[in-house]
Structure 1
């Protein structure tokens, strides 16, 4: 079976419009728009050593249209999101003659697009950026919607801004080099949005999970395109997360705290979100919600093979929760599912109740026989 052709979406936002391409052959389909975007301008091309070795030829059509190309590099993984990395890149861009109409093109995964978007948004008070996301997590979520940020020791993405990319080109051909762990993490991000916003996408993932985890291009293409379309629609309605867009944080409140407590890079983001989804399901069931959804998501996460949690200090996780960037003066805000295709955001729960549940949850999650 041949892969479905790439899909094109537009995402309107307060400062203009993002063009999104997703699926098989997306790079070839978007080549003309990419060349027009960079034509005659200085192009800063940001990637990592590992991605450049695998996909360094991908930007070739864009390079040819630029007046000059400056190669920039960042570390692989979450370590790229150090504030010092952003400062180093700003200085390199200034030293190489960056101007307000220069362009930044990011080739890599979600950590790189988070960093690159932040760098573009801050340099000269904002230059245009485009993303060529090379991981499933970035293609279905991280590269879309304009959220950018870097980490602090106190928490994930605590410094950031909204800076929407001009283009996102998610070609599923790049996913063929990903290990199973990276595919699993990307699928968690697709599952979190499908559960609350796109039941038909959840059913597709359940049906095709084995093929998706095996990196089957014909299975991945429709999931990438559908997830991109779902996220684009939500962001268009709520570009700066003042309401409905918060549903996309399902599983992330505890997930980010787990990452911070484990030490950034020790726990994969998608795996942390998977555990955050399990905890949110527990909270929802205590309220009599998600009776139809909880068994399906639990079974799906089991099939994904998410590894046990590392040993974590409950006090450290609670402290990270309190510093969550979505918290208000009223407290930490949670996203909980009510039923398939419907959730609630902005739910503030008593810290004492969360603390009482967290210890047993962490202990069970770290056990070989999880029991959750």
Structure 2
């Protein structure tokens, strides 16, 4: 398209943005807005309250996610985040083309609203709307395979053949990172009902990143962790900001098992591995041998230690008709959607899909 394009990948949990051609996004911000009370409106109504980004440390109970489970619930919040991002990337008042990734759950009205905000409110010169799962496919360097994307709000499985989505074999599971987060939060801080404290949110984040992993066998892992003497393993403890230590239960550390045994955590099935098998089996029989060697894992949840190995093991052992299953995983798979979009921004094959401000005004 052009030498420089602003790429915006707006997921349920985080927004990733930056200039095309880079190996990683230059800006990653939580998909969170807050409505701060002001002198004109100190009450709970959102009317005339100040809209801000992130969590307000003085009013930590006022934050919300404008996109949940891949669906936009608060367009005012989305526009505010996009405005902030474009302001960060625009240099010397220079306008750049913008590529925005879209969830497969988008509605026609969502696309129309995106065009309206970008062209009318944010005055971008040209825009391309790109499918998130398709972008992850291109980030892997493949055109045929099964994209398995597990992020904050959704876990999605979608087969592709020669760059084309195979309908209707895709699967969308409405359990993902936020459900794992909620499980750990509730098990650690049982006093529900009141506003969350910032240290509680930070504690859960830290435990997820540093202590959790996917076991290869849940029963064996539980037996091992339960057999350890109290305090014998530093990985089983976490120090709170006030200096006190919390001893984690085995199920808290093994919480990412949720993706492979959702029923254990009272989550709807199927498991992520079963969703992959169901998705492949829903494709034409002649295409299945071309798909199973290229299962492409991406999204932040796939970074948990043991995730890739467990997924591969279940694909191979749970269905003998797919003994050649192979799971592809890159080191930057948590930003694969953004990386794929960065590649697509320069492909001539997508030139006809860009829309300019002039074309939008004419329509």
Task: Please classify the TM superposition score into its range, dividing by the shorter chain length.
Answer: 0.3 to 0.5
TM-score by length of 2: 0.33
Which one has more relative contact order, counting CA pairs under 8 Å at least 6 apart? 2
Q: Highest Rg: 1 or 2?
A: 2
TM-score by length of 1: 0.33
